[in-house]
């Protein structure tokens, strides 16, 4: 996207920062703004996992400088916000973001059980601060029950989460993920979600993991799950041999195997909206053996983030998104 378009997106964020602050106070109406328009905006967030070395204020400043529109906060064990401290620390993290004109529409949790005492505390606090989407924790198949029976036993728990999400007006999304747990093959997510209301529970669709897991058939799973996709993940990968074993390794956007033209054409065809989270899971963000001085590290991070954002914005512009 050109500089004018980038500027307009940043101006929108600045103009709506007061709205975000209003949401944190529980306000649902602000003169001159439509709640529906805010909910459907495709705001680009950065997944905060790569920034655990920074405090809330410094992280927000760096992401705003890079051009992001929001922060996808980790609210989970070893995250930016520890679940047991959610009432105290999540408001601080959200306030730091909004001071820099950033949204916090999304968060990443370990939630997969409505009966866990921490679950309701997290959802209640997040909802009161205007967070609209959360990524759920992962589920595993029971080897004794087998695949199909495991999925059937998981359905009542998903139904309970749907009800709790409805209570707090927040959407819970399960990320499809490469591997052998639930959500590896996207078809198992359809089995879990097909009878549930997409308004409150669905799939946080990750095209990187879908392509790694499904090869050329990923697009079929995406189309099948489209009604339940209310938020998405963007990243790229290449197959590489690591310790004599082939693995999908995350790389910068546009340098890997994901066909983003095909992906964004499906996004447009099926009118998939909602916030986007960018996962920066390659060096220097993660798994970099070098220990950089602080200022050099910030410069490297800024350069990498801006490169990924430019690639994303070019495709959003190309497909009229």
- Mean pLDDT across 53-63: 97
- Mean pLDDT across 153-161: 98
**pLDDT value, residue 8:** 47
**Short-list 223, 219, 199, CA closest to 274:** 199
The CA-based dihedral angle spanning residues 165, 214, 233, 77, taken in that order and rounded to the nearest 10 degrees: 60
- Mean pLDDT across 37-62: 86
What values do phi and psi take at 236, rounded to 5? -130, 170
Q: Rounded distance, CA 299 to CA 305, Å? A: 10
179 Rama class: left (phi>0) / alpha (psi -120 to 50) / beta: left
Q: 289 pLDDT band (50/70/90 cuts)?
A: confident
Q: Would you tell me the crossing angle of helices 86-99 and 3-24 to the nearest 10 degrees?
A: 140
Q: Would you tell me the crossing angle of helices 86-99 and 117-128 to the nearest 10 degrees?
A: 30
Q: Is the distance from CB of 228 to CB of 273 less than 8 angstroms?
A: no
**Residue 48, Cβ neighbours under 10 Å: how many?**
28
- Mean pLDDT across 54-63: 98
pLDDT at 99 over 90: yes
Q: Is the distance from CB of 133 to CB of 171 less than 8 angstroms?
A: yes
**pLDDT value, residue 39:** 35
User: Residues 179-234: pLDDT tens digits?
Assistant: 999 999 999 999 999 999 999 999 999 999 999 998 899 999 999 999 999 999 99
List Cα–Cα distances, 67 to 155, 206, 284, in angstroms. Answer: 40, 22, 18
The CA-based dihedral angle spanning residues 166, 167, 168, 169, taken in that order and rounded to the nearest 10 degrees: 30
> What letter would DSSP give residue 136?
P
Q: 16 pLDDT band (50/70/90 cuts)?
A: very low
Percentage, residues of the chain above pLDDT 70: 87
Q: Is the distance from CB of 135 to CB of 204 less than 8 angstroms?
A: yes
**pLDDT value, residue 41:** 61
- Mean pLDDT across 292-314: 96
Q: Which of 84-88, 161-165, 276-280, 291-295 has the lowest mean pLDDT?
A: 291-295
Domain boundaries, the chain: 3-318
Q: 42 pLDDT band (50/70/90 cuts)?
A: confident
- Mean pLDDT across 43-66: 97
∠ CA 189-195-200, nearest 5°, is 80
Report the topology of domain 3-318: TIM Barrel (3.20.20)
**pLDDT value, residue 19:** 39
**Short-list 230, 244, 236, CA closest to 276:** 230
Contacts of 179 (CB under 8 A, 6+ apart): 213
User: Residues 188-203: pLDDT tens digits?
Assistant: 999 999 999 999 999 9
Concatenated DSSP letters for 244-258?
Answer: TEEEEEEE-TTSSS-
**Short-list 60, 146, 160, 133, CA closest to 100:** 60
pTM of the predicted model as reported, rounded to 2 decimal places: 0.86
Q: How far is CA 186 from the centre of its chain?
A: 17
**Short-list 152, 164, 142, CA closest to 192:** 152
Q: Rounded distance, CA 176 to CA 214, Å? A: 11
More confident residue, 156 or 288: 156
First to last CA, the chain: 11
- Mean pLDDT across 42-47: 96
- Mean pLDDT across 268-293: 94
- Considering the chain, what is the average pLDDT of its residues? 89
Q: Is the distance from CB of 182 to CB of 212 less than 8 angstroms?
A: no
pLDDT at 24 over 70: no
Residue 220: helix, strand or coil by DSSP? helix
Q: Rounded distance, CA 114 to CA 7, Å? A: 41
């Amino acid at each position: 996207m050109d500089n004018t378009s980038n500027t307009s997106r940043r101006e929108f964020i600045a103009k709506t920062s007061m709205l975000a602050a209003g949401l944190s106070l529980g306000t649902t109406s602000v003169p001159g703004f439509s709640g529906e328009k805010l909910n459907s905006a495709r705001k680009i967030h950065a997944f905060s996992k790569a920034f655990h070395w920074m405090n809330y204020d410094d992280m927000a400043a760096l992401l705003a400088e890079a051009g992001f529109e929001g922060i996808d906060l980790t609210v989970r064990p070893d995250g930016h916000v520890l679940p047991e401290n959610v009432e105290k620390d999540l408001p601080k993290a959200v306030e730091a973001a909004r001071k820099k004109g950033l949204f916090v529409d999304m968060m990443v949790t370990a939630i997969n059980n409505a009966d866990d005492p921490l679950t309701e505390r997290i959802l209640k606090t997040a909802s009161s601060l205007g967070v609209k989407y959360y990524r759920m924790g992962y589920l595993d198949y029971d080897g004794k029950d087998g695949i199909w029976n495991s999925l059937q036993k998981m359905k009542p728990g998903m139904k309970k989460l749907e009800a709790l999400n409805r209570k707090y007006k927040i959407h819970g999304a399960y990320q499809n993920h490469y591997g052998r747990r639930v959500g590896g093959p996207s078809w198992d997510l359809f089995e879990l979600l097909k009878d549930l209301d997409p308004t409150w529970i669905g799939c946080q669709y990750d095209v990187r993991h879908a392509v790694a897991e499904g090869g050329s058939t990923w697009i079929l799973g995406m189309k099948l799950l489209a009604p339940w996709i209310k938020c998405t993940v963007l990243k790229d990968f290449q197959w590489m041999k690591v310790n004599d074993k082939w693995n999908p390794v995350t790389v910068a956007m546009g340098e890997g195997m994901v066909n983003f033209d095909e992906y964004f054409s499906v996004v447009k065809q099926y009118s998939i909206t909602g916030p986007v989270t960018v996962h920066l899971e390659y060096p220097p963000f993660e798994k970099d053996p070098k220990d950089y001085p602080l200022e050099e590290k910030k410069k490297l991070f800024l350069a990498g983030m801006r490169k990924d954002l430019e690639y994303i914005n070019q495709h959003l512009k190309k497909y009229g998104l």
